[in-house]
Copies of this chain bind each other. A is one copy, B any other.
Amino acid sequence: MNPEFPHDDKIPEAVIRRLPKYYRYLQEMSRRNESRISSSKMSRDMGLNASQIRRDLNCFGGFGQQGYGYSVSKLLEEVSKILGIDRRYGVVIVGAGNIGQALIRYSKFIEQGFDIKGVFDIDQKKVGSLMDSFVVQHVDTLDTFAHKTNVDIGIICVPRIAAQQTADMLVMAGVEGVWNFAPIDVQARKGVSVENVHLNDSLYVLCYRMTEGDRLPPL
């Protein structure tokens, strides 16, 4: 019935954004030693519609079995593969300021699979200093460094004003992905993926919701 997976029928953005949520959920089920899971239980636990879950997963393949459900371990493995996190990534951090330091320290949050290869900054006062276990290097050396080391992802932790040029440098240096923490949408040529994080936006949405109630007419 489904001989030619994966479909490359253009996966909807909404589906892609839900994949990490499935991944997190399946990890949890795996930790709890659940071996099988049905779309209806997932639905209850995750607050998503069961049809939607089945439809989402079917974008990538028929991973389930009628009358049984899904194997947690198999599905977890499949979702890892789909997300592309069944491998390791070399990363560099550009910008050794607040967020940069944060991410180095927090690199544990990048639980496994992501190896920080180097930390770069433009500030001569920071260059040469030790940040956690990394000697901060000058950005001018980024290109050379990236070409002799395996660097897949560049993390942008520089101020807004320098973010786009940093993205450009990273692309020149050959990264395939840019994870941007500066409050601006950086662009990259086709073939280089970009994720703009915008922590501030999330905080603002929180403020919106906190204020929302106050705006509604009193009952």
Q: Which residues of A pack against B, CB within 8 Å?
A: 6, 8, 16-17, 19-21, 23-24, 82-85, 89, 98-99, 101-103, 105-106, 108-111, 114, 152-153, 176-179, 183-184, 191, 193-195, 197-213, 215-217
Contacts and interface: CB of A to CB of B under 8 A. Distances in A.
A204 B23 contact: yes
A202 B181 CA distance: 11
Contacts of A195: 202-203, 205-206, 209
Given A8-B217, A183-B24, A205-B17, A102 B98 contact: yes
A60 to B, nearest CB: 10
11 contacts: A17-B205, A20-B198, A24-B200, A84-B212, A102-B103, A109-B200, A110-B200, A152-B210, A193-B209, A195-B209, A197-B199
Nearest to A105: B98
Contacts of A103: 102
Contact of A83 (B109, B114, B211): B211
A186 to B, nearest CB: 13
Contacts of A206: 153, 177-179, 193-195
Contact of A204 (B83, B202, B210): B83
Contacts of A197: 199, 202
A207 B84 contact: yes
Nearest to A8: B216
A156 B182 CA distance: 22
A117 to B, nearest CB: 16
B202 A179 contact: yes
- Which of A83, A207, A217 has most chain B Cβ within 10 Å? A207
Contact of A208 (B84, B106, B203): B84
